[in-house]
Structure 1
Amino acid sequence: VNFIFMFFTKSKNAVLTIEPNWSTFYAGEFVTFICDMNEGKDSDWYYQLRRNGEEFFPHQPHKNFRVQELDTGYSGEFQCCGYRMSSSSHSKCSKAVTVIVSDLMETVSNKVVVTRRPNWPQMFSGEMITLTCEVQGGETTEWTCEWSRDGSNIHRTNSKDWTFSVSESSSGDYMCQCRRRDDSHSSTQWSEAISLSVSTDKPTPKLTAGSTTIPVGGSVTVSCSVEPSAGWKYRWFRKTSDTFVEFSTNNEENRDITVRQGGIYRCHGERGNPSFYSHSSYEKSIEITFSNKVVVTQQPNWPLVFSGETITLTCEVQGGETTEWTCEWRRPGFVLYRTNSKDWIFNVSESSSGDYMCRCRSRDDWFSSTQWSEAFTLSVSGEKSDFIFHFATICIKTKTMFCLSRLVLVHTHTYITYYKKYRWWRRTINTPEAEISRNNEESRDITVTQGGIYRCDGERGNPSFYSQPSNDVTI
């Protein structure tokens, strides 16, 4: 014998609730009827609201029925019914709920004032705001309050506070009135209206900078501002490589900050809880000019140098001796060279003659530089210098008479003192030329005890640079 078991479950009844859950309302108030089928999805049903057995709201696909403004004629027995969309023969209705609408209410004389937090004159779509219905003298009473905007009732709260996220449609004049929770027959008067202005356009901050000409180690003041300015704190970003990086600030407003580096900066505003952010400001390039004086110096410091010699030009930033610099050099009309330090070492030629200027940038900040130095003049000769001899003979009479000749070297240019050392050679008719031994002194003046044919040249610099040999002198 085969047995077939069939199980039947009893469908749950429909339930009608009202919001707020009061049995008595007063003319001008609003109420929301909520119809729950307790079966399937809400979207599976059509809904109907009846009063005293007759249709009050026609069929609709939504389970909420809102009566915006009650009057005394709305009192009665309310019931909701649902009809399956897939089968109009399947329906069920809730039990009846009694609603009484009265035009008599005891009015509490306490003054009612609407306040708001935050109290900013301009709100932006997406920000949070709390409206509070303050019943003066009723601070310890528990209230249920209702709210109207531009004359229409829009909301009811079980406390005096209403917190919501604003949108452009939230703009308008708000009023409130409250009832004691333990006495629905007593109500305050309506408050005076408070205006709320909401914009859909996020604000864009303006970024400005103070003077960007500062001494090394100084700072530039930059400012970020959103108008209207109420309640904003600011976050700051500096571009490194291809991305913006937020740099450390304190928890203050940070509207005005000081920076010691140039660069590309931007900012944005933040306010409220949870945080609401403005658009980012436009990018601003801040190029700092150091006011420190810049001077070009030359080593060795000779007024005339010769083609082939090596010199060092130094870009001296006065007051910036401890800073690591990258410097660039120019002659009138074009940039010549860039160095990773303040020194530029090079071999000169005749074409090197001219006026030189320099400026430097901090190695860790390509947007910060000095001013250009004053021009420094470099003179280069293409011809090596020549020497000639003047000499004197001093005779000393002793038991054995001999003559001591003293050679005196005279440079043909006026810059003789810039040759630091001299080399000497001697030869005779019968002997080849040989360099005379010398010490590491200047050797500009030497004494000789032998006749012969002498010549010399000058030496200076590192690496050594040599002049043309002098003329021959016969002693």
Structure 2
Amino acid sequence: MKLCQLPLLLLLISNIHSGHTKEIPKPRVTIKPDHHVFRGETVTLRCDIDGEGVTSWRYNWHKDGSTSVFSERQEHTFSSATESDAGKYFCNGTETEGSRSSQHSDEVTLTVSLSIAVLSVSPQMWMTEGDPVTLNCEVNGSSTGWTFSWFTKTVSGSRNDYELLSDSSRGAGGKYTVSSAALKHTGVYVCRAERGKPAYKTEYSNTQPLWVTGVSPPVSLIISPSRTQHFTSVSLSLSCEDQSNSDGWTVRRYTNSGRLEDCSSLRWASQKGSTCTIRSTDPWDTGVYWCQSESGENYQHVNITVHTGVILESPVHPVTEGDNLTLRCFYPYISPPKLRADFYKDGSLIQNQTTEMIIPTFSKRHEGFYYCKHPERGKSPKSWISVRGSHSESQISVLKILSSVLAACPYLIVTVVLIYKCCRMRGKTPQ
């Protein structure tokens, strides 16, 4: 006979001698809110024993196989759990007014870790007006009992704050869905999860930007030098220009470190009117830049990369469909800096050993990530190059609208004349 079976045998003999031949009950252990909880959460262990004819039990809690009892309550609560509370728990009981005893329950494992809310986007963070998008918020390693809140990251001077979305309830179930993106949805988002009473809240998640491009933005972001990739330790100018040459625009950026900043708050930059000048570029200046109006609208988002090595010269804004695209490769430590290099699209070689690559009649099928590579100097970062509708398409659209209006005019005129005649005839009808 195994030694581990001996206590149960002795318990059975004891119960028989006491005149109790009923089945020995086995307790059940439950953990609320979940077997996996997070540092600071309130956790309750509960022991339930269904023993026929027994009205009251004295409970014994054990941890990690120990014979010592750390609690004698049916429910044991950790008001603020820590990693030291993690472990394997089991319970057993003895009759308060009698001699009956229960078996040991099965062990249950409690895991305690640091809570992390993780935010992601589907299908992508770069969109055009009207595209659908979904933000997904998850808590690492747990999916039980959470409700979610959604925030946008805002900037005030050099400080970042979080503003609760007015329609935050849209994020029930960990998903915040926008069926048709508009310019107002552009922003930097975070989420947070909570559960239990009193409510336990996770920290804010990682930041997730959404960039929505308008069809006809009221302002243009002019970048000098006019490219998306730049050398280090050079001057970079970004200007917001609208038709009235207004000074009511602010250049703002979101860096790879998740920082949201105004140009005027940057150490090596200054803003004069609607022009931001970075006096000496640094890899930390890599990020998305845009123009923000005085009323808070965001326009003309451009992804800028500052790199210490090889860079790709590519257009700042989407290429108009039908136009030619010219790409060049540069290296800052030679004169002239232009390189003879290989050019790639989405990881595939498309042209080798050339000083510039020209794609005639750029179209939707040419969209993708481009970079260049030199066998000795290395390769550039990737740049996303997209297409926008041609000028002829815009003209055709205007002509279609005008032709529709003109085609409808005769019908409108006839309808108005008929209504007028009908009204006059009714007025002449004798009473």
TM-score by length of 2: 0.43
Query: Greater strand percent: which structure?
Result: 1
The structure with the largest alpha-carbon Rg is 1
Of structures 1 and 2, the one scoring higher in RCO (CA 8 A, sep 6+) is 2
Query: Greater helix percent: which structure?
Result: 2
